[in-house]
Amino acid sequence: MKKKNVLKVSTSPHGTSKNRRRFLKLSGMAVLGSGLLMACSDDDDAINTPDPGPDPQVFDLGAGDLGVLNYAYALEQLEADFYTKVLNGAYWSGANEIEKVLLEDLYNHEVNHRELFSAAISAAVGSDMMAKLPDLEFDYGNLNFDSRTEVLETAKTLEDTGVSAYNGAGRLLSNPDFLVLAGKIVSVEARHASAIRTLLNPGSADFAGDDIVDSVTGLDIARDPSEVITALGNTGFITTPFTANELP
């Protein structure tokens, strides 16, 4: 008998700088810290223990369109918060004008995306605001926002992850209006990813690297919510616990 996966963001402390280097090296879906998002599953060889059921104190993203909207809202909250920290760091204040304008644009885009999903979810749940993902809290550990390399490498990973997340979640949406919204946003996220990669390696083909484009289809990689949430949970950035019991 196979049980459904249970995904939970932990509030464990951050790991070492070695873990951050591993995260940045692997890019897209690697790990920065030791705050773990647990993926629990069962197989025929596992010890059967009673399922305690969901923790009523921990928010679950939900199922169907609402689950996907909450999922995207979590991603956009993280990106908006990250770029807020970037614009308050010494790297941005001392950057050249091209990089300053680009990062400020990314900040504005992500804040707009966050607010769009907030409004869409509020409209969808009506008076049942308990079904809407709450405001998340974040902790970037010893990530140095004064370092150009650390900021841009982390931005690259977040943007690449965001593109793969939207590509993987689109098939789960049934409301065409939500699908159009997600399609518009993923096109912007892809531009973000391309721009960050070009800043890191000007004049290269990294903007469409083999690590983000499927060599067979020529399309950007798509990942299921469980894979994306696990990767983001592993960064340790998200400190507000939540589960994703109803998403693949």
Is 13 part of a structural domain of the chain? Answer: yes
pLDDT value at position 155? 95
pLDDT digits (tens, 9 = 90+) for 139-198: 999 999 999 999 999 999 999 999 999 999 999 999 999 999 888 898 889 888 889 988
| Tokens describing residue 60 | 């679950």
Is 195 part of a structural domain of the chain? Answer: yes
pLDDT digits (tens, 9 = 90+) for 216-230: 665 667 889 999 998
Is 82 part of a structural domain of the chain? Answer: yes
Side-chain half-sphere CA neighbours of 117 within 13 A: 28
Q: Regarding predicted confidence, which is higher, 213 or 64?
A: 64
pLDDT value at position 209? 56
Domain containing 188 equals 6-243
pLDDT value at position 198? 87
Its pTM stands at: 0.77
Q: What is the mean pLDDT of the chain?
A: 78
pLDDT digits (tens, 9 = 90+) for 60-83: 999 999 999 999 999 999 999 999
Is 248 part of a structural domain of the chain? Answer: no
Share of the chain above pLDDT 70, in %: 70
User: CATH number, domain at 187?
Assistant: 1.20.1260.10
**Rounded Cα gap, residues 130 and 156, in angstroms:** 33
Is 23 part of a structural domain of the chain? Answer: yes
pLDDT digits (tens, 9 = 90+) for 199-208: 988 765 555 5
Phi, psi of 38 (to 5 degrees): -85, 130
Is 1 part of a structural domain of the chain? Answer: no
Side-chain half-sphere CA neighbours of 28 within 13 A: 16
Work out how many domains the chain is built from and give that number.
1
Question: Where are the alpha helices (H) located in 170-224, listed in sequence order?
Answer: 176-200
| Tokens describing residue 9 | 């963001």
